[in-house]
Chains A and B, each alone.
Chain A
Amino acid sequence: MSPPRAFFIAGRHFGPAPGFDWRAAQAARPGGRPRRIGEWAALALHGAQSCLDDSGEVCLPEAATLTLSTVHGPDIALRAALREAREGLPLPFGFLASQPGQVLPALARALGWQGDGRCLATRRPEAALRRACADAGPGGVLAGWVEEDPPEHSHWLRLRPAQPPGGFEPGDFSMLADPTCRFLAFDGAHLLVSRSPEPPRDA
């Protein structure tokens, strides 16, 4: 077994906050609401771009991977497109919006990135995070959890490989929203977090 890899949490976005009009915020971004993407993909874009803002990066580096986890995906768009298909051919927009994989090229465009990306769903967010860390490239990973079904959320973490700091303790996914959690790692299937104030050192 390889030693566990540690990651510095370079950016995070846990949102949208209740009552926040993320659609308006996203539409106000230059190119923030591309045509031909559905609501679920737009929510993913909002979270991913906000997370990258938090990390201070303008673009996602090519050497970073991108993973998106969801258990509902664009279900709402799928239901609408299936209703449409009962009457005749679904319109291209409706069909595209119903396909989870279509979020990836939309993210690639929005993040100025071409690289290794995937939609990979598991029931437990920690399990998806573990896979995202295992699949992370040398430039780290941008990992998201996006659900359009209520309560809608678009949680994202920008992780960079780092030398393991001290002070790791058992953690859970909800702790990662806390800005004082600065590092994470996995011991087997178990999530560890560290609040160490030390600056990140490249792995």
Chain B
Amino acid sequence: MSRRCSLLGRGLVSTLGPDLASALAALNRPPTQPIRQEVAPGVLVPAFPAAAPSGPWSERARAMVLAALQESGALGRRDAPLFVASSSVNVGDLEAGAPFLPDCMDFVEQVAGWLDWRGPVHWVNTACTSALVACLSAHRLVSNGEADDAVVLGLELGNRFTLAGFEGMQLLDPEAPRPLAVARRGLVIGEAAAVLWLGAAPGRWSLLGGANRVDGSNPAGASRSAITAMVRQALSVAGLAAHDIDLIKLQAAGSPQNDSEELAGLGAVFDPLPTVLTLKHRLGHTLGASGCAELALLTASLEAGQWPWAAGLEPDPAFGLPPLHQPPARARHLLASILGFGGGHACTLWQDTAA
């Protein structure tokens, strides 16, 4: 028997603020410019650090994790499975001189220790798609009745190494994120701790399922055929048709190639495209945390009746997109996708039961 899986709580510490309320307030203001961080002698790259108190790396990380969990309300469910979705894990701590931990799970267990977590702990690392892949695993646990709830913690914390790696591969925009724009030149990395608490108890947002497709044709980018297959599979799993989707939260990080691939892949399923939006010009690309961070922000925005659009975001007319400033007449079914580095293509489908 398949049980409904709902969003029971969420939390977000990001460049927009230390919690969701401050992030929503920030969305009403013009976008802030990224800082410029030195990643190698004389090499400055843009980045969106989280609005968290400065301090030693591990203390700051702990504060961000605790704040996001606290806001989500999931600290009362410490026996639930915890999925930590992160690609950079504790690299920032290593840069600060901390000794290498014996293995990758040690940091994840350290995080669980900060939370006094008692349930099973998993580390998911599929690069940018980590948090959505974790959501799909949590969804299966809940809908199959293996667990009453599960918590996904997306965690991408500040470090120079990731920025330098992306810069070395020429994947960063040297100025600011310009998703979908003619002048887009790459992504800008953001820092975040974000939580989605999923469970069988009733909630406004139901996670209907989704799909994850790994494609080997381009390890650093997206493939339109994988996007098309991903969306078709997700719709089939959820028992929906393309015309049921009212809103698509795009990956759209500002990559010249990927933004085009994404829209071409979606265009093979949706004709015409429903309303689309991107949040990476506000949050930056929070890599492994992005699935959680963007869903936390988007669902909170929609509940608040706030359309998270930013003046100045002008899409390439060649994409033929519906106007970005105009919210859909209703947003009952939402598709949220994350694509990219690591050949990953993942999406989740949500139903707003109040819409």
Taking Cβ atoms with an 8 Å cutoff, the residues of A that contact B are 1-2, 36, 66, 70-73, 75, 78-79, 81-82, 85, 88-92, 95-96, 98-102, 104-110, 113-123, 127, 131, 134-135, 149
Contacts and interface: CB of A to CB of B under 8 A. Distances in A.
B161 A120 contact: no
B126 A79 contact: no
Contacts of B109: 123
Nearest to B162: A95
Contacts of B122: 120-122, 131
Contact of A118 (B104, B169, B212): B212
Nearest to A36: B219
A100 to B, nearest CB: 5
Given A92-B168, A99-B127, A134-B144, 15 more contacts: A81-B161, A82-B94, A82-B95, A85-B161, A88-B43, A89-B43, A92-B165, A100-B104, A101-B130, A104-B342, A108-B215, A114-B225, A121-B108, A122-B105, A131-B122
Contacts of A122: 105, 120-123
Contacts of B91: 78, 82
Contacts of A119: 124-126
A114 B164 contact: no
Contacts of B145: 1-2
Contacts of A78: 91
Nearest to A149: B103
Contact of B127 (A101, A134, A135, A149): A101
B105 A71 contact: yes
Nearest to B223: A114
Contacts, number: 160
B121 A96 contact: no
Interface of A, helix, strand, loop or mixed by DSSP = mixed
B202 interface: no
Top 4 nearest A-B pairs (CB, nearest first) are A105-B343, A108-B216, A101-B127, A109-B216
17 contacts: A73-B125, A81-B161, A82-B95, A85-B160, A89-B168, A90-B161, A90-B165, A92-B169, A95-B169, A105-B214, A105-B219, A105-B343, A117-B214, A119-B125, A120-B124, A122-B105, A134-B140
Q: Which of B144, B216, B342 has the most CB of A within 10 A?
A: B216
Given A121-B105, A122-B105, A75 B344 contact: no
